[in-house]
Copies of this chain bind each other. A is one copy, B any other.
């Protein structure tokens, strides 16, 4: 299997096609594109095992919203993006549960680590209704959906697998669906804090910035899990590897079609570069200097988008 080094199905699709010289769609995968309010929407559907194997992701829907010029959004633009996001989200939710069924929103990540703080920052902005419906049912319209929200923390701080915490809560309060928010890793710098992926196949937390953990999905929890992920970092070794590739291509064009270089390019220099360049014990990430502000904007968009959809 490829080491895609990205959590975005869309990027995996593009990398796989390029590396296998596929010009049409990959077998087992359907992609649909749309443009709305200056946002590019790509809907990647993995339809069978062949598609699963190609992208290394389970059968299901992966919708990516690419937002242009995220750095310069104002209140007006944030509202527009939230509206597009909420439309997509509403559609995905409706495929799995009804309008009045109970949803638990989960903000994964570590509030004390800026590029990992997206989930915990969204949670306090979610309009929770579950407790009002329980204690003052008459204060709300009869068909209000019970919504609750939690930030379970990360393994390094809690000492407990996030999946175990959620399993306990899900077993006890019995929501019908989880919406899980997490920071992702992308391959492209341009997608940092500028893309949103909605997947109906759950998530493996910490894929973006930490070691992978136990899967949070229908398989492990028994209810559908919508994952809403946003790339906040690119792995340094991925970037330097891409950089070597670009460099070799450049060499080949300028110099000659060198057999030795061809061979070099085929092999994955990732591990080798990582060892040569990046000190052990360090978890180096590439991120825009403005990440604090970008995360702030993104958490607003995600919170508004979810609130409108629920």
The smallest C-beta distance from A78 to any residue of chain B, in angstroms, reads 9
CB-CB under 8 A from A227, the residues of chain B are none
A276 to B248 Cα, complex, angstroms: 13
A290 touches B (CB below 8 Å): yes
A281 touches B (CB below 8 Å): yes
A243 touches B (CB below 8 Å): yes
CB-CB under 8 A from A173, the residues of chain B are 160, 164-165, 168
A119 touches B (CB below 8 Å): no
A244 to B240 Cα, complex, angstroms: 8
Interface of chain A residues 283 through 297 with chain B (CB within 8 A): 283-293
Copies of this chain, tallied across the complex: 4
User: Chain A 145-157, CB within 8 Å of chain B: the 1/0 string?
Assistant: 0111111110111
A273 touches B (CB below 8 Å): yes
> Which single residue of chain B is at the shortest CB-CB distance from A149?
B158
A228 touches B (CB below 8 Å): no
> Which single residue of chain B is at the shortest CB-CB distance from A249?
B276
CB-CB under 8 A from A283, the residues of chain B are 288-290
A128 touches B (CB below 8 Å): yes
A310 to B29 Cα, complex, angstroms: 53
Query: Contact at B285–A128, with CB atoms within 8 Å?
Result: no
